[in-house]
Amino acid sequence: MNFLWPTLLWGLLLLPLLVAAYLALLARRRRNPVRLASIAVARQAAAVGPHWRRHLPPLLMLLALALLLVAVARPTAVLTLPVAERTILLAMDVSGSMRAEDVKPTRLAAAQAAAKSFVESLPREVSVGVVSFAGTAAVVQAPTTSRDDVIKAIDRFQLQRGTATGSGIILSLATLFPDEGIEVESITGQRRFPDRDIARPRPPPAAPVAPGSYTSAAIIMLTDGQRTTGPDPLDAARMAADHGVRVYTVGVGTTQGEIIGFEGWSMRVRLDEETLKNISLLTHGEYFHAATAEDLKQVYRALGARMVVERKETEITALFAAAGACLVLLGAGLSVWWFGRAL
C-alpha cells in the first residue's frame, strides 16, 4: 500500500495521546467516586453490564479515528478491476501453413473456432477488430462491438502464401492509432486512405511510453510459422512497446513442425517459439503454446480472463473513510444502547 499524502500519517501520533488522556480520566474518576442517592440507584448502576462494556465504545471511536487519519493520507493499492472500455485486435495468420492437420481438423479451422468462441465470451462493451496476415496484412474488420460482424470476418479467411508476422503487428497498431501516421503502404501494398486523393499531413511521431502502460487496447497475435517476408517482427514489437500496447502471442501447432504440400510444392512448417516469446517479452504481454485444438480453446479462455479485468493502482480512500464512519456509528450506537448517552 502506498500513500499520495504520506506526511499526513504523522497525525496517527495523536492516538497515543488520546489513549493517555482516556486512562487519566478513568484514574481521576476512581479517585473521585460519584456519590449515589440510595442503595437502589447503586444497584441499578452496577447492573449496567460487564466491566468491558464501558471501554468498548471509546475503543471503537479510537479505531475509527485511526482509519479516518489513514484515509486523509489518501492510500492507494494495486487492485484487480473490470475494464471500463477496451479494444482488442486479433492478428491472425492465414498463411498456407495453416492448412496443416496436426491440429484437428486443421490449424486454421481450429483457430477460427477458438477465436469465435473467445469473441462471444467478451463483454459487449469491448470492441474487437480483426487483422489477417500472410505475405501482406489486411484489416478484415475494423474494431466494433458487433459480434456478428467479427465472426463473419473470421469466417471469411482465405489462405495465402507467405508469413509476415511483423506486418500483422504494425497494421494492428495503425488500426489502434489511426491519427499517428504509422506507415502502412509498404506493409499492405494498399493506401491507408484510398478514397482520398489529397495528401494528408503526417503528424510527428508520438513520444514513447512505458511498455505495457496503454491499458485501453491489446493485440492478440496467432501464428503457426516462421516469418518469411515483411518487416522484422521484433522491430514491430518494439514499436508496439513504444506505444505501450501489450502483444499476446499464441503459437499454434507442434514444435517439430509438419511437411505440407500444395500445388506441386512442399515444405516443413515449424513454430518459431523464440520470436513469439521475445515479442511478448518486449511488449510485457504473454506467450501461449497450443499444440491441439483443445489447447487453443484453453488459451483463449485464459486470454478472455485477462481482457476483462486489469490490475492497476487505485486510490482506496473511500474504503478507509467508510470503515471509519461505520465504527463511529457502531460505537455511538452501543454507547446509547448500554448507557443512554452517545459516549
pLDDT digits (tens, 9 = 90+) for 84-130: 558 899 999 998 888 888 788 888 999 999 999 899 888 888 899 99
Retrieve residue 3's grid coordinates.
500513500
* Residues listed for the chain: 343
pLDDT confidence of residue 276: 92
Give which of 84, 145, 93 is closest to 115, Cα–Cα.
93
Cα 82 from Cα 137, distance rounded (Å): 32
Residue written as cell 489529397?
198
- Judge whether 313 and 76 are in contact, CB under 8 Å: yes
Retrieve residue 100's grid coordinates.
496443416
Kindly report the average pLDDT of the chain as a whole number.
Answer: 80
Cα 314 from Cα 79, distance rounded (Å): 7
Residue 13: pLDDT band (50, 70, 90) is confident
Query: pLDDT by residue (tens digit) across 143-201?
Result: 999 999 999 999 999 988 888 999 999 999 999 998 877 777 755 554 444 444 445 55
Cα 228 from Cα 249, distance rounded (Å): 18
Cα 205 from Cα 80, distance rounded (Å): 32
pLDDT at 80 over 50: yes
- No. of helices (H) and no. of strands (E), the chain: 11, 11
Amino acid at 199: A
Give me the mean pLDDT over the 282-286 stretch: 93
The reply to whether the predicted model has a pTM over 0.85 is no
